Amino acid sequence: MGARFEGAAARPAQLPAVGPAEIAFAGRSNSGKSSAINALARQKQLAYASRTPGRTRQINFFALRGGARVADLPGYGYAAVPKAMKLEWQDLLWDYVTLRTTLVGLVIVIDARHGIKGLDEDLLGGYLPSGRPALILATKSDKLGLADRRTAVATLRRRLDERFDPYRATVIVQTFSAVSRAGVEAADMTLAQWLPGAPP
């Protein structure tokens, strides 16, 4: 995916001008989102993976070699963040996901060991009615045995189908590991299909 840092926005007014297609990455704090972005970009420290969950307070934008952008959204759901700050982040994230006209696809990173949570579902619920696709990356799959990985994905798929039945065709679930690199190529193929000029 090869990328370079382009800029950041802490408020809607700071978002870059409407231009190239954008793919957004979202996820709960400590879900492995930054590691997933780095693995897909084949760069070790493109997205900052903080040891302090909840540290990312803005949307970070990265320019891809092909001209598109990746948007790294603030992590959500970390209890130690002050409530007022948490609401500010969530408002920025919600506005971006529901109103950004250049957003062509959403990746939600979920720890395969813990499954989908309420805030993940809330975000999907606001996004999916637009008809745009979503990719759920079940990360840290290297920490599970084969049988547990299959169970985790089946459970996740079942929950998504129950909760978002009208949109099941637009939601893809894939296992992923930034450590073992399992699922990197499959995710690459999915994301490439979202960008303008991709073959049908």
The domain limits of the chain are 3-194
| Number of other residues whose CB lies within 10 A of the CB of residue 34 | 23
Distance separating alpha carbons of residues 161 and 9, to the nearest angstrom: 33
Answer whether residue 93 shows pLDDT above 80.
Answer: yes
Percent with pLDDT over 70 in the chain: 83
pLDDT at 14 over 80: yes
List, for residues 37-78, the tens digit of each pLDDT value.
888 888 665 665 444 444 457 899 988 877 899 999 988 865
Q: Which amino acid is at 128?
A: L
Record the pTM. 0.88
pLDDT band at 3; cut points 50, 70, 90 = confident
Residue listed under structure tokens 């619920």: 125
Strand pairing class (103-111; 22-27): parallel
Segment holding 24, helix H or strand E: strand 22-27
Structure tokens at 40: 């897909």
- Check if CATH label 3.40.50.300 holds for domain 3-194: yes
Residues 6+ apart with CB under 8 A from 188: 1, 40
